[in-house]
Amino acid sequence: MQRYNILHRTFYNFSGLVSLGPHILRLRPREDHDLRIESSALTITPPASLLWYRDVEGNSVAVATFELPTNQLVVESEVVIHQYNEAPLEFLVADYAINWPFTYRSDDAILLAPYMTIQENENRTQLDEWVGNCWQPGERIETYTLLNRICAYIHQTLKYQIREEPGIQTAEQTLAYGTGSCRDFAVLFVEAMKSLGVASRFVSGYLHAKPSTANFGATHAWAEVYLPGAGWKGLDPTIGKIVGTDHIAVAVARMPETISPISGTFVGAQGARLDVGVWVMKI
């Protein structure tokens, strides 16, 4: 077991006095048998009333409402967790899904359908050709080996790039540019999985990494795939490996744009500056 302290500070500095609308906060890590929360504190200035609920994906969501006008919004989340995912490769895949290709059982397929749906207006020729570099129809291969091969291929052939601007590249854009952020690589992996008929979803959270020139930062994004018998398993194409102890999931979603850490509205003076600081420290 590994303990982490996660400090996430967000500052919105407005150009004048504003009235804040409701803000949606997704800052609390997802608890399961691999992760337990020891303590959690959420501090907001100006003072806010909080209403907590779990969304359709099981993410912990807080809705903050405000009464006082302000020229600055500060949200500070500090969480201490216990992380038990120290042997991520210790799982068993159901016999029928050990080798690729396989088909989900009918009951599972109904529930997993949204995570395999491809939009009809998407042009996926480039993506399908790219996936063909990792697997050709008729090749018999272990399912996990194939998924890990595609994850590693993204890491090996595309250039990681920090992108501060909002928005996420499509899979086709990432392939065309040859570069992307962690969230772009996660989307590319998810779409590659869909092209193979594997249920996959986007994950946002935190990554503990030692300070270095290749440090991908403490906020991070990766993907999860559903393997029968093993459940949802995380794969991180930014580093080309299965998700382990250093990954801390906060929210999962079929559509990545729906799970930003903080979202909300304000009315008043135009213009705002955003400053974010995140620290993930081993205890």
* Residue 227 belongs to domain with CATH number: 3.10.620.30
Q: What are phi and psi of 93, to 5 degrees?
A: -95, 140
Do 178 and 49 fall within a single domain?
no
In a domain, 79, yes or no: yes
Give me the number of domains the chain comprises: 2
Do 150 and 211 fall within a single domain?
yes
b/e code 38-49 from CB counts within 10 Å (16+ = b): eeeebebeeebe
Do 43 and 170 fall within a single domain?
no
Cα–Cα dist 103/4, whole Å: 38
CB 76 within 8 A of CB 42: yes
In a domain, 131, yes or no: yes
Do 156 and 100 fall within a single domain?
yes
CB 185 within 8 A of CB 238: yes
Helix (H, G, I), strand (E, B) or coil at 273: strand
What pLDDT sits at residue 111? Answer: 96
What pLDDT sits at residue 216? Answer: 47
CB 256 within 8 A of CB 185: no
In a domain, 109, yes or no: yes
Do 142 and 63 fall within a single domain?
no
pLDDT in tens, the chain (283 residues): 899 999 999 999 999 999 999 999 999 999 999 999 999 999 999 999 999 999 999 999 999 999 999 999 999 999 999 999 888 888 999 999 999 999 999 999 999 999 999 876 566 788 888 998 888 888 889 999 999 999 999 999 999 988 777 789 999 999 999 999 999 999 999 999 999 999 999 999 999 987 665 554 588 999 999 999 999 999 999 999 999 999 999 999 999 999 999 999 999 888 888 999 899 999 8
C-alpha dihedral sign at 188, 191, 195, 199: positive
Instruction: Say if pTM beats, i.e. exceeds, 0.75.
Output: yes
> At 70, which CATH number?
2.60.40.2250
Q: Can you point out the beta strands (E) in the chain? A: 2-25, 35-45, 48-54, 60-66, 70-83, 99-100, 141-142, 159-160, 179-180, 200-207, 219-227, 231-236, 241-242, 247-253, 262-268, 272-282
In a domain, 253, yes or no: no
CB 185 within 8 A of CB 220: no
Residue 44, CA distances (Å) to 54, 75, 76, 236 in order: 20, 5, 6, 32
